[in-house]
Structure 1
Amino acid sequence: MTTTAEAIALVKAAVDPQDLFSGDAPERTYRRLARLLHPDLASGPDAAAAFVRLARLWAARHGSAGRPRTITTGRGTYRIAGVHRRGSTAVLYKTGGDTLVKLVRSPADNDLLRREADALRTIERKGVPLLLPYVPRLVESFRYRSGGVERQANVISRVPDGFLTLDEITRRRSPLDPRDAAWIWRRLLVAVGVAHRAGIAHGAVFGHHVLVHPIEHGLVLIDWSQSAPLGTPLTALVTRHRDDYPPGVLAREPVTETLDIRLATRCVATLMGYRAGRPAAPGGRGPAQDPGGAPRGVPARMRAFIRGSLLSPPRDAWGLLAELDELLDDLYGPRLYRPLHL
């Protein structure tokens, strides 16, 4: 078995874990298959589906869908109280308290959680304490060994109840009034600005990674496993958003602050009703990137601001925040609290 096509066929044909892992070296078999099917190395829906099925079969081999019941480290004991959320590369487990245990599905992705841990440590060390709640708090990071397999785990702070992803908000209420989208934009710029001051690019500011509280107006930017130090290439991308990355990122050019600012703007533009966060062409003579165009209710100056932040994003999130505040003052006057009713 040396090709991705052969690995896909093998995983598709497997009825149960024994069909794949009954040999003398099941861990070696798993690692070889995972390398051939990993989304960062293999393209296409068949490879992605086979990778997910491979992870499930491997987890099933160890019983209880691969879920640990208790994890004990040098710093404490975490009693697993069920699944909080399943991602494509990791599972978040409840602990019955204010923390979550994040465990990779595949050892092939151990580096993703190590990258997240490094980023969160750096931001906490270099960040302004008052602004640290915009990112998760890393409690500890360790390797968890079970069934002969060693997987990376992070213990992170749990976001309080009531927070929703931007994707969830878009599904429940779209488009948003620009005044509602504006406070989300402001806080998102603070979140990436905190990271940039620490020398870190998030690298994946997409709607499912941004949590907001509609009433309390809190925001947390989660999942830092695709992050990278500014000035270095991204080494991991969110596969389903591959087309949303600028060409330079795909060419493995050094990442700058502009990536996060561009992606953050796309998130907010989507909330306002832009299709896929893309603006209409200047002059209204047709779409520059998408036939959706600018939705009704977005003032012309706001549309121009969005267009500029997408097509030529600055490198300074704090400078853009100051410009946004000036624009909002001109458009809407003194700021008033607006609960976001969904």
Structure 2
Amino acid sequence: MLHPDRTGHVDETQRAAATAAFVTLTTRWQAYGSTTVNGYTLGSPAYSGDLADLYRLDDDRLLKLPRDPANNDLMLREQVALRRIERDGDPRYLPYVPRLVESFRHRDDSTGAEHRVSVLAAVPGLHSLAEVRRRRPDGLDPRDAAWMWRRLLVALGLAHRAGVVHGAVLPDHVLIEPDAHGVVLVDWCYSVADPGDTVPAVVPAYADWYPVEVRDRRPPGPGTDLAMAATCMVTLMGDRAPAALRSFADGCRTTRPESRPDDAWRLLGELDDVLERLYGPRTFRPFHL
């Protein structure tokens, strides 16, 4: 209604002033409800995680801002973990985890609170295993779950070789790219990178998914992640999981941590043996949500 090109609203002598006024109005409207963080203009969150909101900066980057500055320590854990994995991990498998582009501190002008902020490289078109569960309420075909499980073990093998335990391998934190069969393991805020340290918190909605050592506040190990990954996959398959895969998962989830597998790469080889006995040689199976 206010656009100066609308016939009859302004004459030629008023057009320049009307255009300037319209540009000002448009600029203010675009800024309405947005905020600026370290030079990045943020609108509405693209995603809301357990403790932070994620804002899409462009097709390749997300800004992660904790809602409560009390969680700055968890943000720092993620930054430490991602830097460690990038430094010490096998470069071939780095796409299985987010890449930390930059990190900085941001002070909220309205409250004075300081937040630790991360900018993460992010591939578009990813879907969480929680979403897959919602879309496959009768259970996922085990042949589709197979490639997800295999790639999840690769992500864990990458991290464990770099000395990092994820600490929260849950359906909301495992993202897949359906067409290319990609997997990205996200949210490293609960990770452990120092021997003897413990997982700092649990996600309340998944409290009963955690192995006993996490609930007892004992140090986790690679077997902690492998147990949680197995729970993710058998839950995803539901009643469609064959007995051989259920037995395999149960072996990853024994109550005593020292009795569980603790090498993701070796476990991947054992999983391949089970899958070959069930389904024969591996072939690419298209997957669509």
Normalising by structure 1, we get a TM-score of 0.70
Q: 1:254 aligns with which of 216, 219, 227?
A: 219
1:306 CA drift (Å):
1.9
1:94 CA drift (Å):
1.4
Where does residue 62 of structure 2 map in the other structure? Answer: 100
Larger Rg: 2
Across the aligned residues of Structure 1 and Structure 2, the Cα RMSD in angstroms comes to: 1.9
Q: Secondary structure at the match of 1:220?
A: strand
Where does residue 70 of structure 1 map in the other structure? Answer: 36
1:197 CA drift (Å):
0.5
Where does residue 169 of structure 2 map in the other structure? Answer: 205
Q: 2:76 aligns with which of 89, 92, 114?
A: 114
**Which stretches in structure 1 are left out of the alignment for 5+ residues?**
1-66, 274-294
Question: What amino acid maps onto 1:70 in structure 2?
Answer: T
Distance (Å, rounded) in 2 between the aligned partners of 1:118 and 1:124: 10
Q: 2:243 aligns with which of 300, 303, 313?
A: 300
Distance (Å, rounded) in 2 between the aligned partners of 1:239 and 1:197: 29
Alpha carbons of structure 1 residues 130 and 300: separation in structure 2 relative to 1, 3 Å: same
1:68 CA drift (Å):
5.5
1:292-314 residue CA offsets vs partner (Å, 9 max, x unmatched): xxx24x33322321221222531
Where does residue 30 of structure 2 map in the other structure? Answer: none
4+ residue runs of structure 1 moved beyond 4 angstroms? none
Alpha carbons of structure 1 residues 139 and 214: separation in structure 2 relative to 1, 3 Å: same
Question: What amino acid maps onto 2:64 in structure 1?
Answer: K
Is 2:230 the counterpart of 1:268? no
1:81 CA drift (Å):
4.3
1:200 CA drift (Å):
0.5
Normalising by structure 2, we get a TM-score of 0.82
**Identical counterparts, % of pairs:** 51
Contact residue 144 and residue 151 of structure 1 kept, 8 A: yes
Alpha carbons of structure 1 residues 303 and 244: separation in structure 2 relative to 1, 3 Å: closer
Where does residue 241 of structure 1 map in the other structure? Answer: 206
Where does residue 23 of structure 2 map in the other structure? Answer: none
Contact residue 113 and residue 153 of structure 1 kept, 8 A: yes
Is 2:114 the counterpart of 1:135? no
Where does residue 272 of structure 2 map in the other structure? Answer: 325
Distance (Å, rounded) in 1 between the aligned partners of 2:269 and 2:94: 20
Deviates more, 1:322-331 or 1:240-249: 240-249
Where does residue 286 of structure 2 map in the other structure? Answer: 339
Where does residue 189 of structure 1 map in the other structure? Answer: 153
1:97 CA drift (Å):
4.0
Where does residue 169 of structure 1 map in the other structure? Answer: 132
Distance (Å, rounded) in 2 between the aligned partners of 1:68 and 1:107: 20
Higher RCO (CA 8 Å, separation ≥ 6 residues): 2
1:133 CA drift (Å):
0.4
Distance (Å, rounded) in 2 between the aligned partners of 1:338 and 1:106: 42
Where does residue 28 of structure 2 map in the other structure? Answer: none
Deviates more, 1:301-310 or 1:101-110: 301-310
Question: What amino acid maps onto 1:300 in structure 2?
Answer: A
1:326 CA drift (Å):
1.4
Distance (Å, rounded) in 1 between the aligned partners of 2:224 and 2:162: 16
Contact residue 212 and residue 218 of structure 1 kept, 8 A: yes
